[in-house]
């Protein structure tokens, strides 16, 4: 039996979600609250397996609720109406979420992730998402790989390479990580960081790790590890305009 708590400032959202959850025989709703200021006490009292937590609430948002814990004592699924900025942050940091209005199949999928131990919620993830959602460029990303979570400094990423629906992350120390997210998701967040540039549809490069530019129709970028990245013709002038030539 999965024991859950529902936290949302809107009563109708709690009623709707509770009604959906109670149709599943393997889930029990321990408690609900509309007050974000009561959330920490409720979690500590009932010790749930899983919390469904609204992001936008008065007094404390969902991230601030979790930041009250030194170590988050349960798994969390965020619930939110469409907020593009928050969704970017959640996706980038491997946190699970449900869009309102919540779909019953997606709810079941979230519960199955819990059962299969695929939900990971750490204080570091939440801190990064909270900073990003408040308008700060993230300095750390949580990469969800087959081995678990890898926390990497954004500035240490040398380049990213698309591989179908996956992305390879190449680091300055010559390690690499394969993440089950497409390159467009990473570009969407990293475009806020002036260090990152997309020279080609299959790559995003960190400008500080580009060692050479070889002329051509578009050109070719040589990275610090010796890798070559094609510079598309329509990106050539934009790229060259980033630098002062002497």
The pLDDT of residue 246 is 56
7 neighbors 39 (Cβ within 8 angstroms) = yes
Residues 101 and 179 in one domain: no
Residue 195 CB partners (closer than 8 Å, separation 6+)? 155, 206, 207, 208
Torsional class of 119: left (φ above 0), alpha (ψ -120 to 50), beta (otherwise): beta
Residues 102 and 178 in one domain: no
Residues 75 and 157 in one domain: no
Residue 1 CB partners (closer than 8 Å, separation 6+)? 26, 27, 28
Res 140 pLDDT > 90: no
Domain-located, residue 246: no
Residues 20 and 123 in one domain: yes
Residues 129 and 164 in one domain: no
Domain-located, residue 160: yes
What band does 20 get if pLDDT is binned at 50, 70 and 90?
A: very high
Structure tokens at 99: 């869009």
The pLDDT of residue 128 is 82
pLDDT (tens digit per residue) in 21-50: 999 989 999 999 999 999 999 999 999 999
Distance CA 149, CA 121 (A): 10
Strands 220-223 and 176-179: unpaired
Domain-located, residue 140: no
Residues 165 and 195 in one domain: yes
pLDDT (tens digit per residue) in 80-130: 987 776 787 788 788 899 999 999 999 999 999 999 988 889 888 898 888
Residues 84 and 10 in one domain: yes
Final residue of a domain: which of 81, 103, 133? 133
For position 28, which CATH number holds?
3.40.50.2300
What average pLDDT does this structure show over 169-175? 96
Final residue of a domain: which of 84, 99, 133? 133
Element (H, E) at 11: helix 11-21
Structure tokens at 224: 């610090």
Residues 68 and 184 in one domain: no
The pLDDT of residue 88 is 77
Residues 11 and 128 in one domain: yes
* Residue indicated by tokens 């979230």: 110
Query: How many distinct structural domains can be found in the chain?
Result: 2
Domain-located, residue 245: no
Domain-located, residue 15: yes
pLDDT (tens digit per residue) in 181-237: 899 989 888 887 889 999 999 999 999 999 999 998 889 999 999 999 999 999 999
Domain-located, residue 145: no
Domain-located, residue 141: no
Domain containing 225 equals 152-240
pLDDT (tens digit per residue) in 151-171: 899 999 999 999 999 999 999
Residues 115 and 201 in one domain: no
Residues 68 and 17 in one domain: yes
Residues 25 and 120 in one domain: yes
Structure tokens at 92: 């980038």
Residue 30 CB partners (closer than 8 Å, separation 6+)? 3, 4, 5, 46, 48
The pLDDT of residue 147 is 79
Give the residue with greater pLDDT, 243 vs 18: 18
Distance CA 91, CA 93 (A): 5
């Amino acid at each position: 039996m999965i024991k859950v708590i529902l936290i949302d400032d809107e009563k109708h959202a709690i009623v709707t979600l509770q009604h959906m959850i109670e149709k599943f025989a393997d889930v029990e709703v321990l408690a609900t609250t509309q007050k974000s200021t009561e959330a920490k006490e409720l979690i500590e009292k009932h010790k749930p397996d899983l919390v469904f937590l609204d992001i936008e609430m008065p007094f404390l948002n969902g991230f601030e609720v979790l930041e009250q814990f030194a170590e988050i004592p349960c798994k969390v699924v965020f619930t939110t109406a469409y907020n593009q900025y928050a969704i970017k942050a959640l996706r980038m940091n491997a946190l699970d979420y449900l869009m309102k209005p919540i779909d019953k199949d997606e709810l079941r999928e979230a519960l199955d992730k819990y059962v299969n131990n695929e939900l990971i919620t750490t204080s570091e993830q939440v801190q990064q998402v909270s900073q990003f959602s408040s308008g700060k460029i993230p300095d750390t990303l949580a990469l969800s790989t087959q081995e678990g979570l890898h926390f990497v400094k954004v500035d240490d990423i040398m380049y990213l390479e698309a591989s179908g629906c996956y992305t390879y992350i190449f680091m300055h120390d010559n390690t690499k990580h394969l993440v089950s997210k497409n390159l467009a998701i990473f570009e969407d967040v990293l475009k806020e960081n002036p260090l990152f540039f997309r020279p080609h549809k299959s790559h995003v490069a960190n400008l500080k790790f580009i060692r050479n530019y070889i002329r051509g129709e578009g050109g070719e970028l040589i990275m610090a590890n010796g890798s070559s990245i094609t510079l598309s013709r329509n990106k050539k002038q934009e790229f060259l305009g980033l630098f002062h030539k002497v």
